Amino acid sequence: MRTGLTPAEALRALLEVTPVMGAETLASRDALGRVLVEPVVSTRCLPPADNSAMDGYAVRAADVAHASPTTPVDLEVAFEVAAGAAGEGSLRPGEAARILTGAPLPRGADAVVRQEDAERAGDRVAVRIAPRPRENVRGAGEDVRVGEEVLGAGTLLGPAHLGMLASLGRSTVSVHQRPRVAVLSSGDELVEPDGEIAGGRIVSSNSYSISAQCRELGAEPVYLGIARDTPEDLERRVRSGLRADVLVSSAGVSVGDRDYVRPVLEKLGCTWDFWGVRIKPGYPFAFGRCDEDGGPLVFALPGNPVSAMVTFEQFVRPALRKMTGHTAWFRPLIAVRLGERLDKKAGRLHFVRVRLERRGGEVVARPTGSQSSGVLRSMTEAQGLLLFPADATELREGDTATVQVLDAAFLASPDPGF
């Protein structure tokens, strides 16, 4: 097993062996947030026929080419077409048809005069403004043509995409399955949130944050509970997670006397690819596979709440993004100006939890306070993780740095911009 990898080496190694999930068919209305397996090619034209963009009168543009407010052109209103009409009417020279928005343009007509630009009197209409040919006409196929690839494979389905699928008559759609992620906590000190915390006990917050990180990615967490620090209890719980696509454990993966996660998983068929990544927080992170019999990918996260969340961010998240069919696996990166000086020892890449503030055309990043890996407040406050490079020992106030954006809410505006 390799150890002491750089984060780039670790990421490359695990992404290389991370599979993409297979397909499932869903009702399009339930496919929000899913990723398309295949491109969607239209078998229809949208709109299907030329139709009116306005309430008004369908005309032959040539008939009314000389119309003006002082010299209106008088036409006979021969018939009426409403939205949803079959469009069997045909316009002869000198005729207009009353037409409503969305109604098919009758044969012979090539423009629509807005109601406001015409005056109706009985079965006649006086056109006061000459429309250009095709004016106020929505052309057949101007949105989508037959045979056109409308949505590419790998498209993340948002509201507009679901509307488009509906317009194309696709009430079902083939999307990537969501990975099932078994989430295991371990430690004799851990209790559930309603448990007693006297006597050195603490709440297993990782169970909540890690499950939520999964859910945010559209993966389905399956909670295996809290394992006691015994090989037997760990084994029993890990076994119940071996049918999942991914197993994420936290704690018990360091070099302590009761750190049984690695040996127990080995016993159950897991091969470790590496242990230990040169980052802070989160050095004692391990990745392995139980892939005989299609077992899960195994991510053993350190126990400290911040280390667990940060290693999930750096390693589990990109893998789950790949599994769910996404083509972009990483958080948005932005350049920031540092609002405060930072120091560290050389050797590891640090992920500094920062708050972000827009100032003029720049973003200023400030550490959230204590960067201890046990201080979960540093994550509740964080809008980004600032990359303090492995070899650097200081970053000065005003220096530029790169931030992985966790929460784009710092971009939210107090006004609508219009």
DSSP state of 19: P
From ligand AMP, Mg ion, none, interface partner of 206 (C-beta below 5 to 8 A by class): ligand AMP
Closer residue to ligand AMP (CB): 238 or 403: 238
Instruction: Read off the tokens for 212.
Output: 């939520």
Closer residue to Mg ion (CB): 5 or 251: 251
Min dist. Cβ of residue 27 to ligand AMP (A): 37
**Sign of the four-CA dihedral 191, 192, 193, 196:** negative
From ligand AMP, Mg ion, none, interface partner of 333 (C-beta below 5 to 8 A by class): none
Query: Pairing between strand 190-191 and 202-203?
Result: parallel
From ligand AMP, Mg ion, none, interface partner of 249 (C-beta below 5 to 8 A by class): none
Determine the Cα–Cα distance for residues 171 and 16; give it in Å rounded to an integer: 35
Determine the Cα–Cα distance for residues 211 and 47; give it in Å rounded to an integer: 44
Min dist. Cβ of residue 34 to ligand AMP (A): 30
Instruction: Read off the tokens for 234.
Output: 């760990």
Min dist. Cβ of residue 8 to Mg ion (A): 29
Is-contact 261 186, C-beta < 8 A? yes
Min dist. Cβ of residue 308 to ligand AMP (A): 7
Closer residue to Mg ion (CB): 252 or 384: 252
Closer residue to ligand AMP (CB): 252 or 295: 252
User: For the chain, how are helix, strand and coil distributed in percent, rounded to 5?
Assistant: 20, 35, 45
From ligand AMP, Mg ion, none, interface partner of 185 (C-beta below 5 to 8 A by class): ligand AMP
Beta partners for residue 151, in sequence order = 40
From ligand AMP, Mg ion, none, interface partner of 266 (C-beta below 5 to 8 A by class): none
Closer residue to Mg ion (CB): 104 or 303: 303
From Mg ion, ligand AMP, none, interface partner of 314 (C-beta below 5 to 8 A by class): none
Which H or E element spans position 299? strand 297-301
Closer residue to Mg ion (CB): 206 or 213: 206
From ligand AMP, Mg ion, none, interface partner of 8 (C-beta below 5 to 8 A by class): none
From ligand AMP, Mg ion, none, interface partner of 155 (C-beta below 5 to 8 A by class): none
Ramachandran assignment for 294, one of left (phi > 0), alpha (psi -120 to 50 degrees), beta (any other): left
Min dist. Cβ of residue 368 to Mg ion (A): 25
Determine the Cα–Cα distance for residues 215 and 207; give it in Å rounded to an integer: 12
Min dist. Cβ of residue 246 to Mg ion (A): 21
Closer residue to Mg ion (CB): 7 or 252: 252
CB nearest Mg ion: which residue? 187
Min dist. Cβ of residue 192 to ligand AMP (A): 10
Rg (Cα) of the chain, in Å, rounded? 31
Closer residue to Mg ion (CB): 168 or 301: 301
Min dist. Cβ of residue 254 to ligand AMP (A): 5
Determine the Cα–Cα distance for residues 132 and 105; give it in Å rounded to an integer: 15
Instruction: Read off the tokens for 251.
Output: 């704690």
Determine the Cα–Cα distance for residues 398 and 403; give it in Å rounded to an integer: 14
Is-contact 98 80, C-beta < 8 A? yes
Closer residue to ligand AMP (CB): 251 or 316: 251
Determine the Cα–Cα distance for residues 203 and 279; give it in Å rounded to an integer: 26
Min dist. Cβ of residue 218 to Mg ion (A): 30
User: Given the rule CB under 5 A, which residues bind Mg ion?
Assistant: 187, 251-252
CB nearest ligand AMP: which residue? 303
User: Given the rule CB under 6 A, which residues bind ligand AMP?
Assistant: 185, 187, 189-190, 202, 204-207, 250-252, 254, 256, 302-305
Closer residue to Mg ion (CB): 56 or 303: 303
From ligand AMP, Mg ion, none, interface partner of 304 (C-beta below 5 to 8 A by class): ligand AMP
Q: In what order do the strands lie in the sheet with 95-99?
A: 111-114, 56-59, 95-99, 73-81, 124-127, 118-121
From Mg ion, ligand AMP, none, interface partner of 336 (C-beta below 5 to 8 A by class): none
Determine the Cα–Cα distance for residues 316 and 214; give it in Å rounded to an integer: 9
Min dist. Cβ of residue 269 to ligand AMP (A): 23
| Cα–Cα nearest to 176, from 21, 329, 18 | 21
Instruction: Read off the tokens for 377.
Output: 């407040």
